[in-house]
Each structure stands twice: as C-alpha cells, then as structure tokens.
C-alpha cells in the first residue's frame, strides 16, 4: 500500500502538468487567432458603409473604389 501512494505522488504530477500546459497553450493560440480575425476589415462592407455616409465619406468611398484601383 505504501509503495502505491508514493507511485501516485510521483506519477500524477508528471501526467497532469503536461496536459495542463498543452491546454493553456491551446487556449492562448485560439485567443490569438480570434484577435487576428477580429482585426480583419471586410473591404467591400467598408466601401458600402462609406458610400452611405456624409459627403466626406462618399468622397473617400469613391477614392477607394475597387474598379478604379484595378483600372
């Protein structure tokens, strides 16, 4: 009985700690990916919103028109 307790005391930390560290790393990477995707701007939505805005926004939308840039 005494040997099994020592065995568990030695083995459990070496099993639990790596799983814990991998879980933390996974959650950190997922959070970073969400932040990156959140910062991406949909260019078409931006232009459409600017076209519907005031005169200055309308001028900006005309400058940012994709067809004019490609031509």
Same domain (yes/no): 45, 71: yes
pTM, full prediction: 0.45
Angle at 16 between CA 10 and CA 1, to 5 degrees: 35
For 8-67, write each residue's pLDDT tens digit: 888 888 888 999 999 999 999 999 888 877 766 677 777 777 666 666 666 666 777 655
The verdict on 3 and 23 lying in the same domain is yes
- Helices within 1-71 (DSSP H only): 2-38, 43-51, 55-63, 66-70
Residues 47 and 57 in one domain: yes
Residue 70 has pLDDT above 70, yes or no: no
CA distances from 64 to 18, 22, 39, 56 (A): 50, 44, 19, 12
Looking at the structure of the chain, the number of domains it has is 2
CA distance 67 to 4: 74
């Amino acid at each position: 009985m005494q040997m099994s307790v020592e065995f568990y005391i030695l083995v459990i930390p070496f099993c639990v700690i790596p799983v814990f560290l991998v879980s933390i790393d996974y959650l950190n990477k997922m959070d970073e990916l969400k932040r990156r995707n959140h910062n991406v701007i949909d260019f078409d939505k931006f232009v459409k919103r600017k076209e519907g805005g005031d005169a200055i926004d309308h001028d900006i939308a005309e400058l940012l028109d994709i067809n004019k840039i490609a031509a």
